[in-house]
Chain A
Amino acid sequence: MRPKGKLFALLAVFAAIGLVTASGAFTTVDADRTATVDVNGDAAALLQMNASNAANGAYASSGNNQVTIDFNNGNSGLNPNAVTTISLVFNITNQGTQPVDVTVDDSNISDTDLTDSEFKIFHGTAPGDDIETSSETLDSGEQISIGFKIDLTDVTSSTEFDINLDVFAEA
Chain B
Amino acid sequence: MAGDESALLALTPATGANGQYAYLNSGQLEIDISSNNPNAGGSNFTGAGVNDDALTSINDVFIIENQGTQDVDVYLGDGSGNAIGLNGNDTALQYYWGSTTTNSSETSSNSVTLSPGQSVTVGFQIDLRVESVSGSFPDFTVFAEASN
Q: What chain B residues lie within 8 Å of A77 (beta carbons)?
A: none
Residue among B4, B43, B133 making CB contact with A31, cutoff 8 Å = B4
Q: How far is the CB of A90 from chain B (nearest CB, A)?
A: 14
Q: In the complex, what residues of B have CB within 8 A of residue A125's CB?
A: none
Do A27 and B145 have beta carbons less than 8 Å apart?
yes
A37-B52 in contact given A25-B68, A28-B143 (Cβ < 8 Å):
no
Interface residue range, chain A:
35 or more
Q: How far is the CA of A39 from the CA of B53 in the complex (A)?
A: 9
Instruction: Tell me whether A32 and B141 are in contact in the complex, defined as CB-CB below 8 angstroms, given that A44-B47, A46-B56, A140-B45 are known contacts.
Output: yes
Across the interface, do B146 and A97 meet the contact criterion of CB distance under 8 Å?
no
Does B9 sit within 8 A of A, measured CB to CB?
A: yes
A126 to B123, CA, bound (A): 37
Q: How far is the CA of A37 from the CA of B9 in the complex (A)?
A: 24
Q: A28 to B4: give the CA distance in the assembly, Å.
A: 15
Known: A36-B34, A46-B47, A97-B44. A29 touches B143 (CB 8 A): yes
Candidates A27, A37, A65; contact of B31 at CB < 8 Å: A37
How far, in whole Å, are A171 and B146 apart by their CA atoms in the complex? 35
Q: Is A56 an interface residue (CB 8 A)?
A: no
Known: A27-B146, A30-B141. A37 touches B43 (CB 8 A): no
A31 with B47, Cβ < 8 A, contacts A24-B69, A66-B53 known: no
The total of interchain contacts (Cβ-Cβ below 8 angstroms) comes to 150
**A138 in the interface, Cβ–Cβ < 8 Å?**
no
Q: Which residues of A contact B4 (CB under 8 A)?
A: 31
> Quick check: is A115 within 8 A (CB to CB) of the other chain?
no
B89 at the interface (CB under 8 A from A): no
A108 beta carbon closer than 8 Å to chain B: no
Q: Which residue of A lies closest to B21 (CB)?
A: A97
B28 located at the interface, meaning its Cβ lies under 8 Å from any Cβ of chain A in the complex = yes
What separation, in Å, do the CA atoms of A114 and B11 have in the docked complex?
53
Contact of B43 among A27, A29, A140 (CB under 8 A): A140
Given contacts A37-B31, A37-B34, A66-B52, contact A31 B11 (CB under 8 A): yes
User: A36: which of B16, B33, B52, B68 is its contact (CB, 8 Å)?
Assistant: B33
CA distance A49 to B52 in the complex (A): 11
Taking a contact as CB atoms under 8 Å apart, the answer to whether A38 and B146 are in contact is: no
Could you tell me the distance in whole angstroms from the C-beta of B71 to the nearest C-beta in chain A?
11
> Taking the complex as formed, is B48 at the interface, i.e. its CB lies under 8 A from any CB of chain A?
yes
Listed by A's residue number, 23 A-B pairs whose Cβ atoms lie within 8 Å are A23-B8, A26-B70, A26-B144, A27-B146, A28-B146, A31-B29, A32-B140, A35-B124, A35-B140, A37-B133, A38-B50, A39-B52, A39-B133, A40-B51, A45-B47, A45-B49, A45-B50, A45-B51, A45-B54, A46-B50, A46-B56, A48-B47, A141-B46
For the complex of A and B, 8 pairs with smallest distance between CB atoms: A38-B49, A95-B47, A46-B47, A24-B69, A38-B34, A40-B49, A97-B17, A45-B51
